[in-house]
Structure formats: C-alpha cells, structure tokens
Structure 1
C-alpha cells in the first residue's frame, strides 16, 4: 500500500450499508405480516363488528410494534452537522461531509457522508456502530476501529463514548439504556397480557393492563431523560462546526404511544363503569349469562340484554307433579291407621 502512495492508516473502503436497521426491519415485517393475515380474514366478520374488530387489531398491533421496535432503535438521541474536517490521520487534506450521531439504548451509530460523495478519488459513505449492551465491549470495538483506520470524524465521535473518556458519556448513556430497555420490556409484557385479557370477559382488567403499558413507557422516558441530563457538557467539535444532540424519533414515538395507552386504558375503565354493555358490544362479547339475550333484526346487530324482574313477570310457575308423586305425597300426609283390637 505504501508503494501505491496510500497514507497510513489505510481503510480498505466503506463496507456495504443498509439504510435501515435490520432488527427493526425484521420486527416491522413480523407485525405487518400479522396485520395482513388479520385483514385477509376480515370479510368473514359480518355487520358493524367488522369495523370495531379492524380498529382493535390495528391499534393493538401498532402499540406492540412500537413498544418492541423502539427498544432496538438507535435514534433516542440524534445529531447532525455539515462540516469541513480532516479525513485521515497524518494527512493534511480536508473534506466536506455530513456527520451524523445516533445514540440508542445499546450503543451509538456514526455516519459520515461526503458532500459530494466522491472526494479525493474515494467514496466517502460510512456507517459504523459501536455497542455496549449485553456483553458488548465498547473499548474493544473502538480498538478495532483504530486498527482499521476509520476516518477521523468517526474515530473522534467514537472516542467520546469510550469508558476512559473524560466526558463520561459511556457510563451515563449505558446506565440510561440499561434501565430504559428493562422498563420497555415490562411494557411489552403488559401489552401481551392486555391482548389476552381483552379477549376474555375480564375487559376491565385488560384496560388496567393497557394503562400499565403506557405508564411503564412513560416511566422509561422519564428515566432516560434524567440519566442523560446528568451527563457532563461535552462539546463535539468537527472542524469549525459543533455537533449538538437532541431527543430523536424513538423518544417522541414512545411518548406518543405511552400517552395513547394511558388514554385508552382510562377509556376502558370508565366505559366499564358507565356503559358496560356497550363496552362488551365493542369487543364482540355477549352480556352476562343470567340475562335474556335478544338479537336485533339487522344482520350482525348488537346483543341487546334484557333483564326480567319479578314485577314484569309476577306469575308464579306451578310445577305439575306426576300421579305417582301425588299419591306418595298423600300417603306421607295421611299416616296409616293400625287396628289395635284385642
């Protein structure tokens, strides 16, 4: 490489990148497949229940997909800046590029895209990930990046998150990611219990579990914000520009979903108190077993429960006895007379 005029350290070229996280792509594919499956069987549901059923399925799958996807997202804190910066170590040449930083619950993702992409007879398009979650050794991954000879902007940002960095970003974001991820997993389990209970007669408990799903999501956001706000002020200078971070799409999506779960959970609880029969009709469930059920004449109409009180049906029901039973009863009432003649 030295004979060909390349400058050390030399990176063999940008690796192929997929613009979307493969884990998120798998999660979305699974939930979209489930949605398509439910839509296929939708024509088999008659009447007004079809709309209610579709609304429940779409809402439930959306909540589950978001709760699981944000746990693996790398866009909890994001930042991007256009800067003129050095490209390689031991090289005086500078490039014009867009530098992006995405901080997730499991690590950081750094992007470097040249403007234009072709500069210095190279394709400047990098997308590098450094993880610290579940056994990931961030320091070891950073050492491998140094051996590869990644571009200076990538190494500079990655160095800020190393355990030995004075910025202490590794400890703060690692702690926030660990507990936020745990709370999101609890929220996902609550979502599973919500679907189970809403398919059973215990609708109010399904509403409580949906409320718990939203509360755990909001609690995860509070913990992430508190843990990251304690991080030291560490400016990220790239040439003459400064990179600033802010809450990313994953944070705001979780906030929206959490508030939606809280509102829906409260709505189910209130409907159970005020209009229990309408709530059962919305979830395609019959009324209580001790009621007389009548169907509306329209196809797919609602179940209309009708209670019969003693005032409405004052006549007592006489149960006729058979002939043998009557004779037995008479014999029991008139005792047998014995002749005591001496």
Structure 2
C-alpha cells in the first residue's frame, strides 16, 4: 500500500450498499404479495362483505408486517450529525462528512458519507454493520474492521459498543434488544392465533389474542425504553460536533401498532357483548350459529361449548322412543295383571 502512496491503514474495498435492509425488503415483498393475492380474489365476494373482507385483510397484514419488520429493523435508536473530522489513522487530513448511527435490536449500523462524496481523491461512502445476535461475535467483527482499516469515525463509533468500552453501551443495548425481540416474537405468535380464531366461530377469543398482540408490543417497548433510558448517555464526539441519539421510526411505529391492536381488541370484546350479531356479520359468519355453554357431568361439571342454530324451534319436540327402550322391566308382580 505504501508503494501506491496511501497512508496506513488503508481500506482497500467497501461493502456494496443497498438502499434498504435486505431482511425488511424480503418481509415487505412477502406481505405485499399476499395482499395482491387477496385483492385478486376480491371480485368473487358479493355485496358489502367485500368492503368488510378487504378492511380485515389490510389491517391484519399491516399488523403482521409491522411486527415482523420492526423485529429486524435497525432504526430503534438513531442519530446523525454533519461535522469536520479526521479520516484516517496516523493522518492529519480532515474531511467534511455526514455520520449516521442506527441502533437495532441485533446490532448497530454506521454510515459515513462525504460532503461532497469525492474528497482526498477517494469516494467517501461507507455503510458498515456490527451485530450482536445470538451466535454472532461483536468483538470479532470489530477486530475485522480494524484489520480492514475502516475510517476513523466508523471505528470510533463501533468501539463505543464493544464489551470493554467504559460507556457500557454493548450490555445496555444488547440486553434491551434480546428482551424486546423476544416479546415481539410472542406478539407475532399471538397475531397468528388471532387470525386462526377469526376464521372460526370463536370471535371473542380472537379479540383476546389481538389484545394480547398489542400488550406484548407495548411490553417490548417498555423493556427497550427502560434498558436504554435509565442510564446516563455516553458522549459521542466526532470532530467539532457531538452525536446525539433518539428513538427512531421503528420505536414509534411499534408503539402506534401496539395501541391499534389494543383498541381493536377492546372494541371486539365490547362489540361481542353489545352487538354480537353485527360482529359476526362483519366477519362474514352466519348469525344463526350461537355457541352454547353446557355443563358436562362426565368432565366434572366443566363448561363445554356446543353450537346450535337459532333457527331451531324452541318448542319441545316429542321424540319417539324405540321399542327396545320403551319396554321397561317391572319387578312388581301386579304389573303382570
């Protein structure tokens, strides 16, 4: 490298940048494909049921896509600053650049973009990711970044999230990410169960699962907020400016979706008590099927559901008994007379 006149260390190559996280792109593509498929089937539904069916599908797919996408998002805490700073180690040359920091549940993403991009006869446009997922070694990824010779601003921010850093950001965000991700996976499971319940004549249980979906999302936000806000912030000095982080789009989108699920779940519980027939009509279910809870003596008096049609006549019906069942043995000798 010295033969080419470059200052040690020199980063010989950079990762190809994609305008969007590949995990998010795959998730969005899957849910959009599902939405398009349901839209194609829409003309086969008659009357106002078409509007109700479309509203249910769009809302359900939106909630599921948000839960799954935010679990892989890297924008739970974000920060950006424009400043003048040193570019390489062992060099006095400074550059003007924009530095971005995105903290997700599984790692951090650091961007460095020159202002302008072409400076010092180089293209300054870096997008580096450092992860702490289960099975991933953050210290090893940081050591590889040192060997590559990444620019100073990227290495400086990555070093703040190492385990040995006095800032303690590694344990703080790693713990918050693990607990938040776990609760979001539980929320996604509740969303799947809610959709199964909605396709069956047990709408009240679907409302309960939708309510649980929102509660687990809000619980995950509480874990992330407590783990990241109860400790003093670590100063991040970059040249002549300081980088400050705040809650990113993933945090606020999850909060909005969680509140939406809670409101919809409560609305379904109230509607099941006040207007059960309209609720069944909204879910395109027959209003003639009503669940009846009866005590089963064989199961110790537990309540067991039995479904009957409201079109059945409430009047008692005379059911003829078979000859075998109608003949009752009599032990009294007078019966023979």
Compared with structure 1, are the counterparts of its residues 309 and 152 closer, same or farther at alpha carbon in structure 2 (3 Å cutoff)?
Answer: same
Determine which structure has more spread, i.e. the larger CA radius of gyration. Answer: 1
Compared with structure 1, are the counterparts of its residues 242 and 317 closer, same or farther at alpha carbon in structure 2 (3 Å cutoff)?
Answer: closer
In the alignment, which residue of structure 2 is the partner of 1:6? 6
Q: CA deviation at 1:77?
A: 0.2
Matched, 1:121 2:121: yes
Number of aligned pairs? Answer: 308
Give CA-to-partner distance per residue, 1:23-62, whole Å, 9 cap, x none.
Answer: 0000000000000000001000011100000000000000
In the alignment, which residue of structure 1 is the partner of 2:172? 172
Matched, 1:89 2:99: no
Q: CA deviation at 1:233?
A: 2.5
In the alignment, which residue of structure 2 is the partner of 1:47? 47
Structure 1 residue runs of 5 or longer lacking an equivalent are 292-304, 311-315, 321-334, 338-342
Give CA-to-partner distance per residue, 1:273-329, whole Å, 9 cap, x none.
Answer: 0000000000000023479xxxxxxxxxxxxx778666xxxxx98999xxxxxxxxx
Inter-partner Cα distance in structure 2 for 1:161 and 1:319 = 78
What does 1:142-291 correspond to in 2, within 5 Å? Answer: 142-289=142-289
In the alignment, which residue of structure 2 is the partner of 1:302? none
Compared with structure 1, are the counterparts of its residues 213 and 290 closer, same or farther at alpha carbon in structure 2 (3 Å cutoff)?
Answer: closer
Q: CA deviation at 1:212?
A: 0.1
Contact 2:207 2:269 in 1 (8 A): yes
In the alignment, which residue of structure 2 is the partner of 1:294? none
Structure 2 residue runs of 5 or longer lacking an equivalent are 292-309, 321-334
Contact 2:15 2:128 in 1 (8 A): no
Give CA-to-partner distance per residue, 1:4-32, whole Å, 9 cap, x none.
Answer: 21100010133210021000000000000
Matched, 1:34 2:34: yes
Inter-partner Cα distance in structure 2 for 1:108 and 1:155 = 12
Contact 2:288 2:311 in 1 (8 A): no
Contact 1:169 1:231 in 2 (8 A): no
Inter-partner Cα distance in structure 2 for 1:318 and 1:170 = 76
Compared with structure 1, are the counterparts of its residues 40 and 90 closer, same or farther at alpha carbon in structure 2 (3 Å cutoff)?
Answer: same
Give CA-to-partner distance per residue, 1:87-141, whole Å, 9 cap, x none.
Answer: 0001111000000000000000000000110111110000000001111111110
Compared with structure 1, are the counterparts of its residues 4 and 276 closer, same or farther at alpha carbon in structure 2 (3 Å cutoff)?
Answer: same
In the alignment, which residue of structure 1 is the partner of 2:19? 19
Inter-partner Cα distance in structure 1 for 2:228 and 2:174 = 9
Compared with structure 1, are the counterparts of its residues 195 and 41 closer, same or farther at alpha carbon in structure 2 (3 Å cutoff)?
Answer: same
Contact 2:107 2:133 in 1 (8 A): yes
Q: CA deviation at 1:269?
A: 0.5
Contact 1:14 1:123 in 2 (8 A): no
- For the aligned residues, what is the CA RMSD? 2.3
* Consecutive aligned runs of 4 or more in structure 1 exceeding 2 Å deviation: 230-233, 288-291, 305-310, 316-320
- Residue 2 of structure 2 aligns to a residue in which SS? coil
Compared with structure 1, are the counterparts of its residues 44 and 159 closer, same or farther at alpha carbon in structure 2 (3 Å cutoff)?
Answer: same
What does 1:302-313 correspond to in 2, within 5 Å? Answer: none
For normalisation by structure 1, the TM-score amounts to 0.86
Give CA-to-partner distance per residue, 1:203-230, whole Å, 9 cap, x none.
Answer: 0000000000000000000010001113
Give CA-to-partner distance per residue, 1:123-181, whole Å, 9 cap, x none.
Answer: 00000000011111111100000000000000000000000000000001000000100
In the alignment, which residue of structure 1 is the partner of 2:325? none
